[in-house]
Structures are given as structure tokens and as C-alpha cells.
């Protein structure tokens, strides 16, 4: 299925010079959404994944559905101040600034095999920070999955983990 017509370019968002890939039209199309979730889940069947970790905010939309397909639990990674329990934090750089993400310190165990999920892989900053959080929590990262990989930005090389994407922009 060709998903590109359902991914909208939004110029100068969130700041001038950035072309944001808006997945809202894709999410609103039931067939495209089902195709995307099935593609991610199918690529990771048989890898012993026990937890699917979704990164705020659009990773939250995809990760729980993938987790259900893999018979795994779901764990959120959120921005500071959003998690109600003790959390580990990791700061990182973006192509347009910096940010911090957090995970509950008790959400993963050493026996967990984790698939990290987000909507877009750009420079790898957010996913790199998420990888560090999962590793600090003691779990093993099995792979990463995205709806979109902006491959021309080189994020996959920076994160040093297996990358699966439904759509790649070279």
C-alpha cells in the first residue's frame, strides 16, 4: 500500500526551515492505519518482544496496537512532568532545539525484550535518548520501528539499532 499520499508536508513547522511530516491523514484512514500496524508487528513476530515502548506523543498512537498484535505490554515514554511515579530522565538534541523524555523507573525488567516505536525517525535524537532510558532501566532493546524514516537525515546510523520503517524518504 502506498502511504505517501496520506503523509502531509507542513513547511516551517515547528520552526522555519523544518518540513514536518504530518501523519494525521494516514491515521484517519482505517486501511492505512491497519496496514501500518500490521507491517510493524509482522516484522517483529518471533523476536520474543515482551514490551513495546511508545514515545510521546505520536508513538503512543501506534505502539499500543503493535503491542496487542505481539501479545506484549505497552510502556510510555513521556515529556517531563507527565508521569505520576518515579522516573528516569534523558535529555537530547533535536534538529530544532533540545528536549527531555522520561520513563517510569520500574516499568521494565532485566528480562524484558523491547521494541521501541515512534512515528518519525529524523536525526535520531529522540530515539537515541529513548534507547538510553530503556537500557538504563535494565531491559534489552530488540529493535526500533517507525511509520516514517527520513533516511536522508541519517538517524538510523546514529542510533545503532535495527530500524524498521513502513515508509522511507531517501
Work out the number of other CB atoms within 10 angstroms of the CB of residue 29: 15
164 CB burial (10 A radius; 0-12, 13-18, 19+): middle
Catalytic residue among 4, 56, 58, 90: 58
Out of 56, 78, 95, 113, which one is annotated catalytic?
Answer: 95
Contact 40, 60 (CB under 8 A): no
For β-strands 51-55 and 73-77, DSSP reports them as parallel
Q: Which residues contact 52 (CB under 8 A, 6 or more apart)?
A: 63, 64, 66, 67, 70, 72, 73, 74, 75, 114, 115, 116, 117
140: cell is: 534489552
Residues paired with 141 in a beta bridge: 114
How far are the Cα atoms of 93, 165, 170 from residue 7, in angstroms, in the given order? 25, 14, 15
**Residue 71 DSSP one-character state:** T
Catalytic (active site) residue 95 = yes
Active site members: 58, 95
Amino acid at each position: 500500500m502506498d502511504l505517501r499520499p496520506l503523509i502531509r508536508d507542513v513547511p516551517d513547522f515547528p520552526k522555519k526551515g523544518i518540513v514536518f511530516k504530518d501523519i494525521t491523514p494516514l491515521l484517519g484512514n482505517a486501511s492505512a492505519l491497519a496496514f501500518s500496524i500490521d507491517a510493524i508487528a509482522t516484522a517483529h513476530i518471533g523476536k520474543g518482544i515482551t514490551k513495546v515502548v511508545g514515545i510521546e506523543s505520536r508513538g503512543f498512537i501506534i505502539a499500543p496496537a503493535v503491542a496487542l498484535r505481539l501479545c506484549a505490554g505497552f510502556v510510555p515514554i513521556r515529556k517531563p512532568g507527565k508521569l505520576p511515579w518515579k522516573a528516569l530522565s534523558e535529555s537530547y538534541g533535536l534538529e530544532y532545539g533540545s528536549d527531555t523524555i522520561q520513563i517510569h523507573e520500574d516499568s521494565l525488567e532485566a528480562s524484558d525484550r523491547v521494541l521501541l516505536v515512534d512515528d518519525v525517525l529524523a536525526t535520531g535524537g529522540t530515539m537515541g535518548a529513548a534507547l538510553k532510558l530503556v537500557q538504563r532501566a535494565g531491559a534489552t532493546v530488540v529493535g526500533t520501528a517507525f511509520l516514517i524514516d527520513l533516511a536522508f537525515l541519517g538517524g538510523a546510523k546514529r542510533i545503532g539499532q535495527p530500524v524498521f520503517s513502513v515508509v522511507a524518504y531517501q
